[in-house]
Structure 1
Amino acid sequence: MTLRQRVQDVLDELVAGGAETGVQVAVHHRGRRVVDAVAGVADGTTGRPVTPETLFFSFSTAKGVTALLAHLLVRDGLIGYDTPVAEVWPEFGTHGKETATLRQVLTHTVGVPAMPGGIGPADLADWPRICAALAGAEPRWRPGTRTGYHSFTFGFLVGEIARRVTGQPVRRLLHDWIASPLGIAGELYFGVPPAEFARLARLEDAEPQPAEPAEHDGLLAPWERQPRASMGNDPGFLQADVPSVGTFTARGIATVYAAVLDGRLIAAEQLEELTAVAFEGTDQVFGNPARLALGYPLGRLGAPADEAPTTFGWPGGGGSYAYADPATETSFAVTKNRLTPDFATAQRLSAVVTAEFGLLT
């Protein structure tokens, strides 16, 4: 049985059993797409089926693309990893953030994991307000000394740095530097054009939601920690530049990771630098051990303890996931519209892919 058929069988089983509503999976190996599978419905209220062209709002899985934009800035000599953020964004250099660097932004060590007080989901479309609030924020720790998941702030930090050195908003950079050169314009968005709304999957919440760990309550607001379908279905939010989250097809984001691996976007030397361990410590938001490369957690979700952490990529709240594995020359992505409190689907599918290509290295 081919890998494509094995993946399809898993998807069909998950949908038939009610674990998922609609799912896409894409896999690239050595620059070639080997899986582009779908199952279920994009909209549970209408029965519209999922196709490979269906767009899924996939929360933080988009952080992998945001991090890539930072690497392309470095590639083009517009900024260095160790350039202080305040050098290109002077207003950011307050309250001890004067020494914070792009490297520290990418390793979530700047110390501003939460949106400043008074900022809520409805404010995220106001780019100037968010960036002014972040510039004036006092860090929770001295930059570079600890790490903690920068849920929504990460995208605005990278995005404003990019805007300062290029003069362009992140949605334009995403199109011009990544989507268009890779031939995937229309499959990857920060800010979805209204003309594309008919292609969107409709998200739905899975119940019950898990309880929040009391020992970490308060560092992030509930809306920053817990994905909700209402956010990803809101037309106003979907149209906004919020580059910690994004909308795409599985094959679109898998193509991006494949292009990172095969040299279409960055050189081998930069790939080696950005995938090396850049920071290790306890995540101050969630309390878990964190091993971070430049912009990406290292290691595959659900991997056995003895599996070498060769993958880099991002999961997203609700269960989406995308990554690249230089050791096996594969990229993988799963997008879905049922927001589950775990990553069981992604872990099961990535294990199928790893079992296939682990034999070919």
Structure 2
Amino acid sequence: MQQLVQQAIDQLVDSGEELGIQVAVYRHGEQVVDAVAGVADPATGRPVASDTPFFSASTGKGVTATVVHVLADRGALDYDTPIVELWPEFGAHGKEKATLRHALTHSIGVPAVPARLTAPDLADWDGMCALIADSEPWWEPGTRTGYHAVTWGYVLGEVVRRATGRPISQVLREEVAAPLGIADELYFGVPAAELGRLARLEDAPGSAETMAAMPADLPLFKATPPALTPSAAYGNDPVVLTADIPSGGTMSARAVARMYAALLTEVDGVRLLPEARLREITALATAETDQMVGFPTPRALGYNLGRPGADPGRTPTVFGMPGMGGSAAWADPATGLSFALTKNRFSPGPATAVDRIGALVAEAATG
């Protein structure tokens, strides 16, 4: 499988379709693919290495969900606890019945932020949490579902902070990343001293046209200001990279694949969750029409269901998250696979590399 994947990503880079790319695969707790190709920084020619972190947008949501589940398994959180029990201010404007389960399934009803917000606003944790707590819900929590592109991470992150007394970036490092030996490759807020290690993003040709062709009246765009919509400039911004914004994340493919592998089974002596908890959090929670994008989106507790790029109905046991720009990470309890792809040519359209390489890996594992 290593050779197949390496050949595939070399071809993507050689053809000019991709700039720099990482793919990592674990199977039954063992790493079977660690492939890299291309350059991490086109300005200097610095090559991609296995430990190069890439800003990977909403692929980080799967990392946030994992932190929540680790805490829940230890009794620090309960999915059906009203959020107001930890965060009383959140109950404003009729949100007092909202639960952690509602937040995980994007059904909490606060998907939007004001159009005036810019990246520096995102770095103000207390300000963002106060703004979200005081927002009026678009629907009664629990009655509909709709992708919370920006607000999702703050709601869950503040619940984690109130429950533990620690910012979610610290909890990620201490409870998930450090035990797995990936603390320097899996981040929310990246330490400023580490910024020089990161891959530099570049917008794919035609990105502006792709965005312009999307429906202007899509609720997702009304809920997320252009300044906060991920792009190469957004993912290269030190303000964004160094802030805790757990609706996204910065990671190497091998780090996030290792995290997913440790959800499925033991990895070098570490397993993040027991089997019963894994079954609970990966079961179908909602498959309703998403109010932000207008089509049904099967979801578990904090993860999408179905392999990115594939018909979710054909791969219902797969759970994970894609990120705008073309990165993704997922795991499949049915096959014991965990997969991650990160890249720095930021493509807002269909994630063709994720689709192609993910299918290649799945086929190789079952063939």
Q: Same fold, TM exceeding 0.5? A: yes
Flag structure 2 segments of 5+ consecutive residues without an equivalent: none
Q: Which residue of 1 aligns with 2:235?
A: 232
Q: Give, in whole Å, the separation in 2 of the partners of 1:131 and 1:104.
A: 17
Distance in 1 between the 2:70 and 2:149 partners? 22
Q: Map 1:107-118; keep pairs closer than 5 Å.
A: 107-116=105-114, 118=116
User: What is the root-mean-square deviation of aligned Cα atoms in Å?
Assistant: 1.4
Q: Which residue identity lines up with residue 270 of structure 1 in the other structure? A: R
Which of 287, 294, 299 lines up with 1:280 in the alignment? 287
Secondary structure at 2:170 match in 1: helix
* Aligned equivalents of 2:133, 2:62: Cα separation in 1: 23
Q: Which residue of 1 aligns with 2:277?
A: 270
What does residue 301 of structure 1 align with? 308
Q: Quick check: 1:203–1:232 contact (8 Å CA) kept in 2? A: yes
Determine the C-alpha separation between the residues in 1 that align with 2:162 and 2:311: 42
Amino acid corresponding to residue 14 of structure 2 in structure 1: A
Query: What is the distance in 1 between the residues matched to 2:309 and 2:116?
Result: 36
What is the rounded CA distance, in whole Å, between the counterparts of 1:119 and 1:136 in structure 2? Answer: 15
User: How far apart in 1 are the matches of 2:251 and 2:152?
Assistant: 19
The one of 345, 348, 365 aligned to 1:357: 365
Distance between the aligned counterparts of 2:57 and 2:106, measured in 1? 17
Given that 2:62 and 2:302 are in contact with CA atoms closer than 8 Å, whether structure 1 keeps it comes out as yes
1:145 is aligned, of 138, 143, 146, to 143
Does 2:327 match 1:289?
no
Q: Secondary structure at the match of 2:350?
A: coil
CA distance in 2, matches of 1:308, 1:197: 36
* 1:23-71 Cα shifts (integer Å, max 9, x gaps): 0000000000000000000011111110101110111001001011111
The equivalent position to 1:214 in structure 2, one of 188, 211, 216, is 216
The change in CA–CA distance for 1:69 and 1:35 in structure 2 (over 3 A counts) is: same
Q: Tell me the distance in 2 between the aligned counterparts of 1:225 and 1:327.
A: 36
Aligned residues of 1:121 and 1:223 also touching (Cα < 8 A) = no
Q: Distance in 2 between matches of 1:224 and 1:284?
A: 22
Moved more, 100-109 or 213-222: 213-222
Partner SS, residue 339 of structure 2: strand
Q: Which residue of 1 aligns with 2:97?
A: 99
User: In the aligned structure 1, how far is the partner of 2:2 from the partner of 2:354?
Assistant: 16
How far has the Cα of 1:227 moved from its partner? 2.1
Taking only the aligned residue pairs, the percentage that are identical comes to: 54
Counterpart in the other structure of 1:311: 318
Residue 329 of structure 2 corresponds to which residue in structure 1?
322
Instruction: State the match for 1:43 in structure 2.
Output: 41
Q: Counterpart in 1 of 2:5?
A: 7
Per mean C-alpha deviation after superposition, the further-off stretch among 27-36 and 254-263 is: 254-263
Identify the residue that residue 193 of structure 1 maps to in structure 2. 191
Equivalent residue for 1:167? Answer: 165
Separation in 1 of the partners of 2:353 and 2:135?
38
Displacement of 1:214: 3.0
Structure 1: gaps of 5 or more residues:
none
Task: Pick closer, same or farther for the CA change 1:233–1:305 going to 2, 3 Å.
Answer: closer
Cα distance in 1 for residues equivalent to 2:125 and 2:160? 13
What is the TM-score of this pair, normalised by structure 2? 0.94
Tell me the amino acid that sits aligned with residue 96 of structure 2: E
Distance in 1 separating the partners of 2:358 and 2:339: 7
Q: TM-score, normalised by structure 1?
A: 0.96
Name the aligned partner's letter for residue 284 of structure 1.
Answer: Q
Q: Identify the match of residue 54 of structure 1 among 22, 37, 52.
A: 52
Q: Deviations 1:204-261 (Å, cap 9, x if unpaired)?
A: 0113221221341553234377421111111122111111111110000000000001
- Residue by residue over 1:139-163, the C-alpha shift from the partner in whole angstroms, topping out at 9 and shown as x without a partner, is 1011111111110111101100000
Q: 2:346 pairs with 339, 342, 348, which one?
A: 339
Matched letter for residue 251 of structure 1: R
1:243 lines up with 2:246 in the alignment: yes
Distance change (3 Å), C-alpha of 1:222 and 1:118: closer
Alignment coverage as a number of residue pairs: 357
Residue 203 of structure 1: aligned partner: 201
Q: Which moved more, 1:37-46 or 1:214-223?
A: 214-223
